[in-house]
Structures are given as structure tokens and as C-alpha cells.
Structure 1
Amino acid sequence: MQPGSGSSSKSDRNLAERNRRMHMKSLCSMLASLVLPQDSKAKPPKHVLLDQAAAHVKHLQERIEELKQRKELLKGDNNPTQEKTRGAIAPVIKLRNFESTLEVNLISGPDKKSMLREVISVLEEEGAEVVAASYCTVDDKVSYTVHSQAIIPRIGIETSTVDERLKKLIL
């Protein structure tokens, strides 16, 4: 072994390790930007970040399965071998929040006529006042749109609570 060759290989290993650590750091920061809220200033420890990422991926997998089941249910209506049941459409609810106003979009079958009344009840119980409501019927689907605003604009509407309660309605 030549003198000096050991120090060269050691410096090569140190350089490779430094590059690996830098690469891992950049990957962790990329993961944090995808998982953490945009307004978050605090950097959680890596194990917390990985736990949050794993939970987020699991949630997305569950959502994919839910959407696949809904797709199969809707495809079943087009299958001539199955018995068609009019109005057997799985309801869909979407929320859009604009500062102190909230828009709720609901798509359901004609058999769910009481859904609009239930949606309005949930909004009023959560501190919202319904400003406008409209509906449109196309084939066997009914689309409702409800515009509401916070009764007390300083407090606003807790959209996460409204979202949870509305999702319980459609299940």
C-alpha cells in the first residue's frame, strides 16, 4: 500500500457521505413542502415528518379505494345485466370557502330530496346563514348549490366541522 492512498480513499468516503447527507436533507425538505401546511414556519423532527407523510399516503389510499367503489357503483347503473334502480346515485358534497362565506355543492339522486334540508340545517347549526340556494335536475341527478355566510363575520364558519358533518350525512 502506498503512503497517502489511505487518506485519499478516506476523503472520498467523507465526500460521498457528505453528498448523501445533503441529498437526504433536500429530499426531507421536499417532503416537508408537500406534507406540511404552506403557512407552517416550524420544522418538525424527521420522524414526525415521516409519520405525517405515512398518514397522508394512507389517507390518499383510502380515498382512492372510496372513489373506486363509487366509480363501480356508478358503472353498475350502465350495466344492462344488473337491475337498474332509479335514483341510486351516491351523493357527492364539495365545499368551497371564501373568507366569511361558504359554498356547498351537493349532487344526489332524486330519492334524496331531504338532503338539501339537512345540509341547510347543518350550516345553520354551525353558525352560517343561508343567503341563496339553487338546484338543477339533469337526467336522474340533482345538483344543489347553497351559498351561506357567517352570522358573525369575525368568527367565521368552521369549515372542517361542517365538512365532517356533511360527509356523515352522505354515508
Structure 2
Amino acid sequence: MKAVVQRVIQASVSVNNSLISEIGEGLLVLLGVQEGDGIEDLEWLSQKVCRMRILADEEGKMNRSLIDTGGEMIVVSQFTLQASTKKGNRPSFLRAAVPSLSEPLYEQFCRLAEIELGRPIGRGVFGADMKVSLINDGPVTIVIDSRNRE
């Protein structure tokens, strides 16, 4: 399971010109589920994202988490994070989990994040053609892979 975590001043998700989710300061998380991912991956990753100290403290240093700040979160499912670009110029998405596996894991990730944060989070619409807007703060963008826990 991969996550691209972006610290934002604001972010939103729209589908068919209709606003689905919108947040102020916090994190926009793009989540890609890989074939073979399971509950251990999503538990580890949801805790890691919620507890990651990449938000500014009083001195402007990255030292606070969403839990500390009360910041907001949007999670958007994005199978293209599992792209392989090894051969040729057209990405292969064979590593991406099929929707029947990835959608329940995406939903469970969101539920665990809500439990960890103690409040609701914003979501995209699984499988939809979404328009994601954001103002990246910093910019701070971090890629996390549950199979490569660095």
C-alpha cells in the first residue's frame, strides 16, 4: 500500500463539477492499494500518516501531527500509484489491486484514520473521475510504502 501525503493549506475533491470534500489546513492523502495488501498494511499506514510530525509547531518547525494540531484530512483512492514504468513508455497497472480488494481496504483505511484522529475525514469517490485541487504548504510531500517501511 502506498500513500502520497501532502501538507496543504487547503484541498478539495470534485466529481462531475460537484464538490465532494473540502478541507483547510491538514493533509491530502493519495492512497494506492497493491495486490496482496492486507489489514496489517493499512493499520500500519493509517497510524503512520495520522502520527507523522510534518505540521509546523510554534517555531515553524515540522514537529506536530494531525492528532496534535486538530488538522483535517482528505483521502483519495489512486490506483495509478502502483504503476510500473519499467518497460516502454506506457505505465502498467498490473500491481494495482482489483476494485473488489482495494475498495474495502480504502474504506477501512479511512475508518481507522477517523478513529485515530477522533473525527471524520474527507474522502474522494472510489473509482470516480475526480478533480483534486490543493495548495501544497511548503511544499511538503512524502511518499510512504507499507512494503518498504523506511
Tell me, yes or no, whether TM beats 0.5: no
* Structure holding more strand per residue: 2
* Structure holding more helix per residue: 1
What TM-score results when the alignment is normalised by the length of structure 2?
Answer: 0.31
What TM-score results when the alignment is normalised by the length of structure 1?
Answer: 0.28
Greater RCO between the two (CA within 8 Å, min separation 6)? 2
**Which has more radius of gyration?**
1
